Structure 1
């Protein structure tokens, strides 16, 4: 049982904490943050030990009636690995603390590849993360890119890929604080950062992305045009995608016509928060014309990296050397069929 801490109990952190708590080969020692509102109260209600990231946070938590288990430093003394889910500027400071203490750590996709020197996607490069001191689980969009393109690459079908990303404006729970309304905002640079980010995991990928921010918060949507190495049938392409347990083929003609209908399906399935850990790819929309492939899918920006993070914990701590075994174990615990 490896001892794990989650630092940053926000959108990703709370989901990572729940996922760690479901595993039988790791133990969640506690969560750490500076907040003292309903979010950290929920952690207490779940039975998680709460630690204060700063002295000021400790005082505020105590004033709010929160039972504080200790300081961040005291939490770090008890663990084998930290999953840091804090905002960019905070994570950069924390990383130096982890390094000085000699604690293994995982950061999220908002950090630069250079922070760890290794970027992680379970189905792509699990083995290269074994027993490392740190890794970065790539962003939600990059994770989806790697899952789909790696599946095509495994089938020796992928030549190059060009994608357009429709990006949600903000996280759903923060939509009252900001975001865009009645407009779409294209990213100035092509490629957008997701293409180069995917290449930080697999330098051999020939991929270019363009991104547009749109006025909704439920998810991202991708459209892809892929040049195949040869003429192929739709069935060959679908067989390639089916080699990934984290790609879910969905059907437009069954009423799954939008990101909100897909979200509703996952809520009906009983997933926590309606989370979709998989890439939801439209099977009946997918088109093959000679050696060209066209497809579209939806990405749950709050959930897709959660199974990757659990697999990254196993890789870094060495409790499972076989990537496929870890993926199967993680999938089972999260209800990914």
Structure 2
């Protein structure tokens, strides 16, 4: 029996995959066909306990899942057969090997930012490339850092303020849940090339952006921190810049003088307001740190590497499926289900 909803398969149930699956369940125009993975550990047991249909991404994974008490609904091919769109959340470079399967089964698919732009020929940030994704067979939701770059710089570009931007990225060492397995301790690791890859990646979304990035890996796991110096097209006032950022529903202005002085404080705030996993979907720009000096702008913001791409992925599903042709309407719908916008209102009122 058809429900008229877009049936979504999630391949890879890790940091991003579990959040995509949970977000899909919240959408009234989508249904989760199931999740696939090769793991049989606690993560899949949690998914099974939440009532998600579990599929074995490889034949050998099925026996291990069953042995651990996980009910296996079938193979990856069987999951894909039951889906309209597949969101690939497998580890970096694994997804590229899955493309042949998706194309063989004529399934629309979404890759994450660890893959190259050329894998799909289209890079997605909802505020910029929703309409150009409509009806496509595939797109790539760009990385967490690239998403934040495009969101913030596009906000300035839309009001005619952006000339060029130069950013320094302090990148978290690894995901929090696996920091015991790797990461770095008592050191900083600069990326070996300038520009770092995020600036050119942002240009796959908007080729007109004059952006250069430098990055360094730091020994913490909560999120990324960006510092930006932007040359504006003209002299302006701080409030005009803030108004430009306020026009984006996925940017939140936060303040140091209200106690949100560090990454851990913002993360704790997300937990306190009931966000699942303490997720910050927005780019959190420090409003009281932001400075405008003539036609130069300086600001810093926080990027939740586990969360920022989740609303973009939901919008990308609608764009590929063609169930909503208006990007703003899709964003409004996604924002409502994920509580995006509430943060901005709380920040404004204290």
Residue 335 (structure 2) pairs with residue 331 (structure 1): yes
* Aligned residue in 2 for 1:209: 213
Q: Which of 2, 6, 12 lines up with 2:6 in the alignment? A: 2
> SS at the partner of 1:314?
helix
Structure 1, residues 287-324: CA drift from partner, whole Å, max 9, x if none? 00000000000000000000000000000000000000
* Aligned residue in 2 for 1:236: 240
> SS at the partner of 1:88?
coil
The count of corresponding residues between Structure 1 and Structure 2 is 337
* Aligned residue in 2 for 1:92: 96
Whole-Å Cα distance in 1 between the matches of residues 318 and 82 of structure 2?
18
* Aligned residue in 2 for 1:256: 260
Residue 131 (structure 2) pairs with residue 127 (structure 1): yes
> SS at the partner of 1:148?
helix
CA contact (8 A) 2:311 2:334 kept: yes
1:269-288 equivalent positions in 2, closer than 5 A: 269-288=273-292
CA contact (8 A) 2:93 2:114 kept: no
* Aligned residue in 2 for 1:55: 59
Whole-Å Cα distance in 2 between the matches of residues 96 and 109 of structure 1?
18
Structure 1, residues 261-307: CA drift from partner, whole Å, max 9, x if none? 11011110110010000000000000000000000000000000000
> SS at the partner of 1:285?
coil
> SS at the partner of 1:263?
helix
Whole-Å Cα distance in 2 between the matches of residues 187 and 69 of structure 1?
43
Deviation at residue 89 of structure 1 after TM alignment = 3.3
Deviation at residue 333 of structure 1 after TM alignment = 0.2
* Aligned residue in 2 for 1:218: 222
Whole-Å Cα distance in 1 between the matches of residues 53 and 164 of structure 2?
47
* Aligned residue in 2 for 1:196: 200
CA contact (8 A) 2:117 2:140 kept: yes
Show structure 2 runs of 5+ residues with no match.
Answer: 342-350
RMSD over aligned Cα, in angstroms? Answer: 0.6
* Aligned residue in 1 for 2:82: 78
Whole-Å Cα distance in 2 between the matches of residues 98 and 192 of structure 1?
31
Whole-Å Cα distance in 2 between the matches of residues 88 and 271 of structure 1?
26
Whole-Å Cα distance in 2 between the matches of residues 88 and 244 of structure 1?
29
Moved more, 232-241 or 89-98: 89-98
Moved more, 93-102 or 301-310: 93-102
Whole-Å Cα distance in 2 between the matches of residues 89 and 218 of structure 1?
24
Structure 1, residues 142-201: CA drift from partner, whole Å, max 9, x if none? 000000000000010000000000000000001000111111111110000000000000
1:147-226 equivalent positions in 2, closer than 5 A: 147-226=151-230
Structure 1, residues 94-151: CA drift from partner, whole Å, max 9, x if none? 1110011110000000000000000000011110000000000000000000000000
Show structure 1 runs of 5+ residues with no match.
Answer: none
Residue 297 (structure 2) pairs with residue 293 (structure 1): yes
* Aligned residue in 1 for 2:345: none
Deviation at residue 88 of structure 1 after TM alignment = 2.4
Q: Which of 110, 114, 122 lines up with 1:118 in the alignment? A: 122
CA contact (8 A) 2:93 2:115 kept: no
* TM-score normalised by the chain length of structure 2: 0.96
Give the 4+ runs in structure 1 shifted more than 3 A: none
* Aligned residue in 2 for 1:143: 147
> SS at the partner of 1:69?
strand
Whole-Å Cα distance in 1 between the matches of residues 123 and 93 of structure 2?
19
